[in-house]
Amino acid sequence: MKDEEYAPDMPPLGGAGYLVSHLFEVGPVMAGGFGPVPLSFQELQAYQEATGLELQRWEVLFLRRLSSEYLTASSQAGDLNCPAPWGQIRSRYTASTMREQIAALAEL
């Protein structure tokens, strides 16, 4: 059952909010032969034709990039040590890498 009251912290979108809305209207990813893949130019063209939108070139390129980043983040999200995909500075040390390093030091 989906928790309707769950609302994760999200980064500010500024003026790009409309592009995120388009991303989730059309995708954010599409089915590929071996699982999800980023949106294709053909899919974005079909979306524009179906909705009557005329996106600028940079908007189409940005939507493809957002789709690719979404796919990457969603595949990494299964890792319990995966940090949120936004924030200040991400440490390259997670709980598991720190445990591994401490264990390696203990063996010396």
- Residue 33 falls inside a structural domain: yes
pLDDT at 53: 96
Q: Is residue 59, in this structure, part of any structural domain at all?
A: yes
Give, for 36, the enclosing helix (H) or strand (E). Answer: strand 35-38
Q: Count of domains in the chain?
A: 1
Please check whether residue 2 lies inside any domain of the structure.
no
Which residue range is the domain that position 49 belongs to? Answer: 15-81
| Residue 47: closest CA among 69, 20, 22, 72 | 22
pLDDT score recorded for residue 108: 54
Give the per-residue pLDDT at 1. 47
Residue 102 lies in a domain: no
- Give the span between the Cα atoms of 2 and 11, in whole angstroms: 22
Residue 38 DSSP SS3: strand
Q: What is the pLDDT along the chain (108 residues), one digit of tens a residue?
A: 456 677 767 777 788 889 999 999 999 999 999 999 999 999 999 999 999 999 999 999 999 999 999 999 888 888 877 777 665 545 555 556 666 766 666 665
* Domain membership flag for residue 46: yes
105 found inside a domain: no
pLDDT of residue 32: 94
